[in-house]
Copies of this chain bind each other. A is one copy, B any other.
Amino acid sequence: MSDKPHILVVDDEEDIRELVCMNLRRAGYAVTEAMDGLQAIAEVKLKKPDVMILDVMMPECDGLNVCRQVRANPETADIPIIMLTAKGQTQDRIEGLERGADDYLTKPFSPKELVLRVHSLLRRASTTLIISDLKEGPFHFDMRAVKLKVNGEPIDLTLLEFKLIQLLASKKGEVIERDTILREVWGYTDQVRTRTLDTHMKRLREKLAEYSDWVQTARGFGYVFKAPEVASCAD
């Protein structure tokens, strides 16, 4: 990540695009331009921007389409998006918000307001890039205190145990291989024959009590954090 936040501006109208870019550059941001939705998607893949400013009305691949595609990709799903809409198009605004846009501005808009909105989105993004919590199902990880609560009840974990379940929970639904766990949590760099993971997993599950079935074994692969299956038979 470079010093200056990077903004991607997408609009087929050249004069609007130039006006926006000029004001953002003057405000100290690094700016990339795209003149249509397809180019925008290509640019996002090339270099993930810190904020996207996206016109709704564009030929071929409109802003709503771009927004949907950006949100559908986990690598780019968290990019803050400001939609530019035509005056009076309330439906566009609502649909944009439903598609995952963070904000909108109605043409014609004040460049100062646009800059302030970019600033606001970045401030929120940057102030949350400090220490924060992770929540998954009933699990609540306080990363600053290195403490776990499950359904509001504190669980007393060692550092290794905390790291272990936090790694799994942060990739909910994905099977994490044993070697990956040993590397991420234990810092092992080579393949080692060890049963320490098994031992710690046992200890962790004991501490989790009735929630231990959130941590499931993928035999021959590793472990996965996911909601337990609901019993489907009469027992």
Do A131 and B132 touch (CB < 8 A)? Answer: yes
Q: Which residues of B contact A98 (CB under 8 A)?
A: 116
> How many copies altogether?
2
Do A94 and B78 touch (CB < 8 A)? Answer: no
Do B131 and A143 touch (CB < 8 A)? Answer: yes
With both chains docked as a complex, state the minimum distance between the C-beta of A145 and any C-beta of chain B, in angstroms. Answer: 8
Do A131 and B170 touch (CB < 8 A)? Answer: yes
Number of A residues whose C-beta is below 8 Å from B?
A: 43
Q: Which residues of B contact A27 (CB under 8 A)?
A: none
Q: With the chains together, A39 CA to B166 CA distance in Å? A: 39
Q: Does A113 contact B (CB under 8 A)?
A: yes
A93-119 contacts to B, CB under 8 A, are: 93-94, 97-98, 100-103, 110, 112-113, 116-117, 119
Do B128 and A78 touch (CB < 8 A)? Answer: yes
Do A135 and B126 touch (CB < 8 A)? Answer: yes
Do B146 and A159 touch (CB < 8 A)? Answer: yes
4 shortest A-B CB distances, which residue pairs? Answer: A97-B116, A128-B128, A129-B132, A143-B143
Q: A97-B116, A124-B128, A128-B130 are in contact. List 11 more A-B contacts (CB 8 A).
A: A78-B128, A90-B110, A97-B117, A102-B124, A128-B129, A129-B134, A130-B134, A131-B143, A131-B170, A132-B132, A143-B144
